[in-house]
Amino acid sequence: MVDIPNTLQRTGVIFVLSAPSGTGKSTLCHSLRQSSDFSFIVSHTTRTPRPGEEDGVDYCFVSREEFESRIAAGAFLEYANVHGNLYGTPKSDVLQHIAAGNDVMLDIDVEGARQIRALEDQEIRSALVDIFIMPPSLEELERRLRKRGTESEEQIATRMQSAGKEIPFWHHYKYTIISESMEEDLLKMRSIIRAERYQTCRLRASNEE
């Protein structure tokens, strides 16, 4: 007789999502975090809060000195300078969640994703699933940036320049989604998330040693 495990436990997945600014990544992440069982990881940043943003909720807003002392203490899983400000993911939070079987969704730039991919820690390597959201075209990206109306002409030009530098990194990611409507993008993301959660390598029968 074979033993069929009636309970399977699994380790958590680190979903890393990157996309040029304006692709709709923040809205996508927000919807997924609300609906698909994710643990929240709050990044640290040296940028100043925007109206309506809350410290400890949207980001932990810290001074450059504070950020640098955290870098020196090895507190970040990755960190990067994005549009002139520093952003970093707290390492201990991520490790605790994946060990407990909780998934995290990190919205980070291509440099941060590269740093996580380069880590040698086996636990992190096997937990990592990186996804790139590609704008359908540069024209459409510019149209979406203008439509959201939060950036000046100068900022739009900077974001378009950054997009030109970020897009060539897409082939380093495990998955690439060409952005369509938000509903379509969400469906594709949910398919990836579901499949990754069922990978045998993440599962363990609860009565196993």
Q: How far is the CB of 87 from ligand 5GP (least distance, A)?
A: 3
Give the strands of the sheet with 38-39, arranged side by side.
38-39, 103-107, 14-18, 128-134, 175-178
Query: Do the beta carbons of residue 125 and residue 142 sit within 8 Å?
Result: no
* Residue given tokens 């952005």 in the structure block: 179
Q: How far is the CB of 188 from ligand 5GP (least distance, A)?
A: 19
- Residues in contact with ligand 5GP by the rule CB under 6 A: 21, 43, 47, 78, 80, 82, 87-89, 107-109, 112
**In this chain, which residue has its C-beta nearest to ligand 5GP?**
112
Strands 203-205 and 8-10: antiparallel
Query: Do the beta carbons of residue 89 and residue 41 sit within 8 Å?
Result: yes
Q: Which is nearer to ligand 5GP, 80 or 177 (CB)?
A: 80
Q: How far is the CB of 27 from ligand 5GP (least distance, A)?
A: 12
Distance CA 14, CA 37 (A): 13
Distance CA 24, CA 17 (A): 11
Q: Which is nearer to ligand 5GP, 42 or 203 (CB)?
A: 42
Q: Which is nearer to ligand 5GP, 12 or 166 (CB)?
A: 166
Distance CA 149, CA 62 (A): 27
Q: How far is the CB of 107 from ligand 5GP (least distance, A)?
A: 5
Q: How far is the CB of 90 from ligand 5GP (least distance, A)?
A: 8
Q: Which is nearer to ligand 5GP, 138 or 195 (CB)?
A: 138
Q: Which is nearer to ligand 5GP, 153 or 208 (CB)?
A: 153
